Amino acid sequence: MSSNFNKVLNILKKFTKNELVSLFNIALDSVNYNEPVEKSDCPYCSSNRVILYGKKRGKQRFLCNDCKHTFTTTTHTIRSMSHQPYDVWEGMIEDTLNGNSLSYSEDRLGISHQVAFNMRHKILLSLQDIERENPFKLQDVTELDETFVLECYKGQRLPSHITRKPRKHGAKALKRGSSNEFICICSGAQRKSNVILKAVNRAKPSSVEVTQVFKGHIADGTLLLTDGLRSYNVLESVADCSIKNITGEKTGFYNLNTVNSLHSFVKDQYKLYRGVATKYINRYCTLFEYAFRSGASDINNLKVALLNQRGHMPYSISNVKSHELTAIA
């Protein structure tokens, strides 16, 4: 650091707390955030009668002429309450959608592990909000199956009912095959289109769980291909669809190749991340749904959507820690 910097630092020590806060805000206003200014609708009342209204901490401020609230481009978005600049957020979204690990982003963007973790999870919460606002239905030919991933307590103490020793990174299950160390992810993959992934349980899904995952997400007239698990039969009463069990007949048109490649994708990501904490598994399932079906241009559009998405709840650290965690008994 320069000697001027140290001199200023010594002067600052004599300032009061309030003086420091106003100085800090003046300094932020003078920083060019390199941020595109686009007028958006009011996040409080959705009105478009919005005018420019000066700057707040370096960010453009707006005034709503209907409800009289003021807001900035980041109010209620993943960037509200964040000290990270626009380009770091862009980089973190790109890394997330491209399937890069947190440690990769920490090195590339020069941020700490905790900051990277919080940013990643705010992005995942925002992605879940985007999916909620843009629901889709599987249609045409859709393949259904399940895959299993190792239960994971990454970053946490093992709960008292778990008697095994903690696993090392990338370790395998103690028992071979399906055991209660695995979490089941229900999957539906429309050929060349949308997919659904949701963790529900440890064992194969029951009819009730299949209904929970797919109700409202199957279009009328869909042909569902399964490998014979009877729980899927319930879907004929949930949507006007037909089910073909293709046990032992996985050739030609009747195959489960799409859902199998989705499962390989999930397992590769799981390996690259060295596991995903089970309580966050469904946040990551939403990410895998988008990442699996998105090309480069979709990822660019999604990046803009994520930066502008206003949350159904605040994207705060406390919601990162507690919002809609996956509880599997």
The footprint of Zn ion (CB under 5 A) covers 42, 44-45, 47, 64, 66-67
Question: What is the separation, in whole angstroms, between the first and last Cα of the chain?
Answer: 53
Residues contacting residue 92 through CB under 8 Å, at least 6 positions apart: 84, 105, 109, 111, 116, 119, 120, 123
Minimum distance from residue 133 beta carbon to Zn ion (Å): 19
Nearer to Zn ion, 29 or 66 (CB): 66
Least CB distance to Zn ion at residue 212 (A): 37
- Alpha helices, H only, the chain: 3-12, 17-29, 86-97, 102-109, 113-133, 207-214, 235-238, 257-272, 281-293, 296-308, 317-322
Nearer to Zn ion, 65 or 242 (CB): 65
- Closer to Zn ion by Cβ: residue 47 or 242: 47
CB of 80 to Zn ion, least distance (A): 16
The closest of 194, 201, 157, 146 to 298, measured between CA atoms, is: 194
The nearest distance, CB 41 to Zn ion, in angstroms, is 8
* 148-151 CB contacts, 8 Å cutoff, 24+ apart: 148/178, 148/182, 148/183, 148/184, 148/185, 149/182, 149/183, 149/185, 149/266, 149/267, 149/270, 149/276, 149/281, 150/181, 150/182, 150/183, 150/270, 150/275, 151/181, 151/182, 151/183, 151/202, 151/278, 151/328
Q: How far is the CB of 42 from Zn ion (least distance, A)?
A: 3
Least separation in angstroms between residue 179's CB and Zn ion is 54
253: Cα within 13 Å, side-chain hemisphere: 5
Of 22 and 65, nearer to Zn ion (C-beta) is 65
**Residue 269 token pair:** 């990501």
Task: Name the residue nearer to Zn ion (CB basis): 73 or 142.
Answer: 73
Q: Which is nearer to Zn ion, 64 or 78 (by Cβ)?
A: 64
Q: Which two tokens stand for residue 101?
A: 């690990």
- Residue closer to Zn ion by CB (options 59, 198) is 59
In this structure, what token pair is assigned to residue 273?
A: 């991340």
For residue 162, list its beta bridge partners: none
Of the two residues 75 and 118, which places its CB atom closer to Zn ion in the complex?
A: 75
CB of residue 67 to Zn ion, shortest distance in Å: 3
3-class DSSP state of 127:
helix
- Rounded distance, CA 259 to CA 293, Å? 12
Beta carbon of residue 68, minimum distance to Zn ion (angstroms, whole number): 7
For the CB of residue 39, give the shortest distance to Zn ion in the complex, in Å: 13
CB 274 within 8 A of CB 170: yes
Q: Determine how many CB atoms are found less than 10 A away from the CB of residue 78.
A: 28
By C-beta, is 101 or 308 nearer to Zn ion? 308
